[in-house]
């Protein structure tokens, strides 16, 4: 038995980090790839659907994979502080990894539109939380401006080390399935994660990609066999926040899926490259479809993801029904974050399923018998 210690130790030869760089890790990665057993039958779709549940990472989202590498590199370069703009999960991860490293974190969050659990995470880990009267896109612009003069390292996904860490999710999927899936579906906000997965799959296949531009020398083609297949990459956005569907920035993005409430994606060009090279597509979902799928997945498979995450599965199910994804395909959907971060979304319609009775045996038995 050896203790699992996170993605840097697991994939060091595939990451562009100095060998002497001390890994700042919380044991992120190695998340479950869960095969859906009930939903495909219920929804009458014929496919092997897997969900990669990134919600079980240390701070509850895939951002930890990127943050461990970005913070490790920042500390190695001598940074004493990091900064990010965030819809919530980046700030939670930045705060936790900064705490681990013993450096300062500054996080800019949009007023009001952040899930309560994520805000609590940033606070408990001791970050300085700057709430701006604006949205994520305003925050991102301000972070870039401030970092020009202040001695702080940006750890948003424009930091290429973030994508290098996040590509390891694709490695884990190829290892678990023994090959790449036919389709990989993800929610898209800034489009860093869809790009990171494409980089990972390309490295596994030993194929070049224009999306890998930052670290061409970091490639190591050994260890994943000779299989040359890569999946088609499918990105889903919320209809009120869908710049990739509109062909340009959306000025007042709105969606219940706050993690992807982004109107001006930072990895715009890279995402179109992924779209072109993988022969994939982008599509959009209404908030109601996203929430219904979040519920369905929780009720029928026991997996509780946050709203943004459910858009990957909602889109995949719809595309399977419409034949855009052919029957018999192997499909992986990334569930980007944990549903427990955002309980308000579930509880805002009241406590469904809650039964109140007197504290006596007969009353409890009656409550059970009526519902068996
Ligand atoms: C950050 C995030 C996304 C969006 O990822 P991008 O890389 O910005 O496209 C989706 N879902 C959750 C839960 C997130 O935290």
Q: Cα separation of 161 and 26, whole Å?
A: 17
Determine if ligand 1 sits within 6 Å of the CB of residue 89.
Answer: yes
Q: Is the torsion defined by CA of 219, 221, 223, 229 positive or negative?
A: positive
Per-residue confidence (pLDDT) for residue 353, from 0 to 100:
82
How far is the centre of ligand 1, averaged over its atoms, from the C-alpha of 364 (Å)? 43
User: Which pLDDT score, from 0 to 100, does residue 214 have?
Assistant: 73
**Residue-wise pLDDT tens digits, 192-237:** 999 999 999 999 998 888 888 777 655 555 656 667 899 999 999 9
- Cβ(312) – ligand 1 distance below 6 Å: no
Task: State pTM to two decimals.
Answer: 0.96
In short, whether 71's Cβ falls inside 6 Å of ligand 1 is: no
- Is residue 139 within 6 Å of ligand 1 at its C-beta? no
Q: Output the CA torsion sign for 117, 187, 328, 50.
A: negative
Q: What percent of the chain has pLDDT over 70?
A: 97
Distance CA 175, CA 182 (A): 15
- Using alpha carbons, list the distances in angstroms from residue 21 to 12, 18, 77, 306: 11, 5, 9, 34
* Tens-place pLDDT, residues 55-104: 999 999 999 999 999 999 999 999 999 999 999 999 999 999 999 999 99
- Looking from the CA of residue 192, the nearest atom of ligand 1 is 7
- Over the stretch 298-338, which tens digit does the pLDDT of each residue have? 999 999 999 999 999 999 999 999 999 999 999 999 999 99
> What is residue 215's predicted lDDT score, i.e. its pLDDT?
76
Report CA(174)–ligand 1 centroid distance (Å): 21
């Amino acid at each position: 038995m050896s203790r699992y210690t996170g993605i840097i130790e697991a994939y060091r030869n595939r990451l562009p980090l100095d060998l002497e760089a001390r890994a700042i890790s919380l044991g992120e990665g190695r998340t479950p790839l869960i095969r859906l057993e009930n939903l495909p039958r219920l929804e009458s779709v014929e496919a092997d659907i897997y969900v990669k549940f990134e919600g079980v990472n240390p701070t509850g989202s895939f951002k930890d994979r990127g943050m461990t590498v970005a913070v490790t590199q920042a500390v190695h370069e001598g940074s004493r502080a990091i900064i990010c703009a965030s819809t919530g999960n980046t700030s939670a991860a930045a705060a936790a990894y900064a705490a681990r490293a013993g450096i300062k974190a500054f996080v800019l969050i949009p007023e009001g539109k952040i899930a309560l659990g994520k805000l609590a995470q940033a606070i408990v880990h001791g970050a300085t939380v700057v709430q701006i009267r604006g949205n994520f896109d305003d925050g991102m612009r301000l972070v870039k401006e401030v970092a020009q003069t202040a001695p702080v390292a940006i750890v948003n996904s424009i930091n290429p080390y973030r994508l290098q860490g996040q590509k390891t999710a694709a490695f884990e999927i190829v290892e678990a399935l023994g090959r790449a899936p036919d389709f990989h579906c993800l929610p898209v906000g800034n489009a860093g994660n869809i790009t990171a997965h494409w980089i990972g799959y390309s490295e596994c296949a030993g194929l070049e990609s224009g999306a890998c531009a930052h670290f061409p020398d970091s490639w190591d083609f050994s260890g994943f066999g000779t299989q040359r297949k890569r999946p088609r990459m499918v990105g889903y956005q919320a209809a009120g926040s869908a710049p990739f569907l509109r062909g340009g920035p959306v000025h007042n993005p709105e969606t219940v899926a706050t993690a992807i409430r982004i109107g001006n994606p930072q990895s715009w060009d890279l995402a179109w490259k992924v779209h072109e090279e993988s022969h994939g597509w982008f599509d959009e979902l209404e908030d109601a479809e996203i929430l219904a799928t979040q519920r369905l997945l929780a009720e029928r498979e026991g997996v509780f993801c946050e709203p943004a995450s459910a858009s990957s599965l909602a889109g995949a199910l719809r595309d399977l029904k419409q034949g855009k994804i052919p029957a018999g395909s192997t499909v992986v959907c990334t569930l980007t974050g944990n549903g427990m971060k955002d309980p308000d979304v579930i509880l805002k319609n009241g406590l469904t399923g809650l039964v109140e009775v007197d504290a006596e045996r007969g009353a409890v038995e009656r409550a059970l018998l009526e519902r068996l």
